[in-house]
A and B are shown apart, each in its own frame.
Chain A
Amino acid sequence: GAVVSQHPSWVICKSGTSVKIECRSLDFQATTMFWYRQFPKQSLMLMATSNEGSKATYEQGVEKDKFLINHASLTLSTLTVTSAHPEDSSFYICSARSPGLAYEQYFGPGTRLTVT
């Protein structure tokens, strides 16, 4: 139980284009989903917290107009990187949490984004 999937697992895009990453909780309803960014050999950096049906809360320094987050249902959240630049290249990981799972947080497998 408590499986989170992400799609795609890796993506290459050109500068200036937009990329959408999906995060799904497969066997539970996630009241809250989180989006993280991870640079090589570093810890996870929280980008934003999203609750189903409401606007995401972004961490300081994260541009909400660049990283659009939509949590449309209890099993799906999307992160769209708009007008991507090479410096947006990174490993993006989502996680999901449910009160029914004692608020334990389960992570997706990550999406490797490369912007050329």
Chain B
Amino acid sequence: GQQLNQSPQSMFIQEGEDVSMNCTSSSIFNTWLWYKQDPGEGPVLLIALYKAGELTSNGRLTAQFGITRKDSFLNISASIPSDVGIYFCAGQRGGNTPLVFGKGTRLSVIA
């Protein structure tokens, strides 16, 4: 099935650095969501975006819904070791339709 283009695939950063990752699509989505998955666990919802252009923060996390509805980015400021994990973007076309996922960004934080 369709997947979103998520980049980068992996990142190695120093503790305290800011991180940015993004997702793009060839088609429009009405909702964008960002999840984090720790090893052996299910994904945990971080941020949900509902309007084009919307910028939403959750602590050190900030995400934006692109104005074209075809992209979204997630920023993490001042990274800490517990930020390690895989981050997935997901798009939803509307209503009760299934999510379409990106392939994930694997984040490693070096203390």
A interface with B by C-beta (< 8 Å): 2, 4, 6, 31-32, 34, 41-46, 49, 51, 59-60, 91, 93, 95, 97, 99, 102-110, 112
Query: A103–B101 contact, CB under 8 A?
Result: no
CB distance from A13 to the nearest CB of B (A): 19
Q: How many Cβ-Cβ contacts under 8 Å join chain A to chain B?
A: 59
Q: Given A102-B48, A103-B96, A104-B45, do A59 and B1 touch, yes or no (CB 8 Å)?
A: yes
Query: B104–A43 contact, CB under 8 A?
Result: yes
- Specify which of B41, B88, B92, B103 is in contact with A103 (CB 8 Å cutoff): B92
| Chain B hits for A104, CB < 8 A | 33, 45, 48
B59 at interface by CB-CB < 8 Å: no
Q: List 29 A-B contacts (CB under 8 A).
A: A4-B42, A31-B96, A32-B96, A34-B98, A43-B3, A43-B88, A43-B102, A43-B103, A43-B104, A44-B43, A44-B101, A45-B1, A46-B1, A46-B98, A46-B99, A93-B42, A93-B43, A97-B96, A102-B48, A104-B48, A105-B45, A105-B90, A107-B35, A107-B42, A107-B44, A107-B45, A108-B42, A110-B41, A110-B42
